[in-house]
Amino acid sequence: MNSRPLIVMSGDRSAALTVVGTNVTVLVSDTDSRDQRITLQSGDEGTGPPPHSHDWDESFYVTKGQVQFTCSGQTTMCVAGTLVHVPAGTVHAFSYGPGGGEMLEVTGRESKAVQMFSALDREIPPGPPNVPKVVQVAGEYGVKFHL
């Protein structure tokens, strides 16, 4: 796969995936770039994944609202303009703050995040999640939950 220049206008984006309470719009997938995956994520207040880890680095840039991140046991409320970098293997979680939030997520070559988001959207219906099924599907892509 050869990387090529890519411009994604707002009208060109695919519909957002629904991933256990988070809307995930894939901006750059593994078919677009061999080295990066980029998503735009948003959610309502209080939604977000529980503590988990995976074998790829992940960076988030908060673009709207607030997002509370917990990384290695330290919790910080992050406002728009904040960058959070999570090294591979780090236990982390986030939840959208008052009024919800939005952020860009960037992962690298080894990331399976976009494939996992697609599988969760396909296999987990909206509403209260079937937690064992979420754990099973995410686990197929290398995500470990630390509940």
Res 1: pLDDT: 52
Say how far apart CA 40 and CA 17 lie, in whole Å.
10
Residue 8 has pLDDT above 90, yes or no: no
> Nearest to residue 72, comparing CAs of 87, 90, 52, 60?
90
Residue 9 has pLDDT above 90, yes or no: no
Q: Is 40 exposed, middle or buried (0-12, 13-18, 19+ CB in 10 A)?
A: middle
Q: Using one digit for the tens of pLDDT, what is the confidence trace for 47-80?
A: 999 999 999 999 999 999 999 999 999 999 999 9
Averaged over 102-108, what is the pLDDT?
97
All domains of the chain in start order, with CATH = 10-145 (2.60.120.10)
- Predicted TM-score of the model (pTM): 0.93
Q: What are the helix (H) ranges across 3-142? A: 113-123, 131-139
Say how far apart CA 69 and CA 93 lie, in whole Å.
6
- DSSP β-ladder status, 144-145 and 17-19: unpaired
Ranges of beta strands (E only) in the chain are 17-19, 22-28, 36-43, 52-53, 58-71, 74-79, 83-86, 92-108, 144-145
Residue 3 has pLDDT above 80, yes or no: no
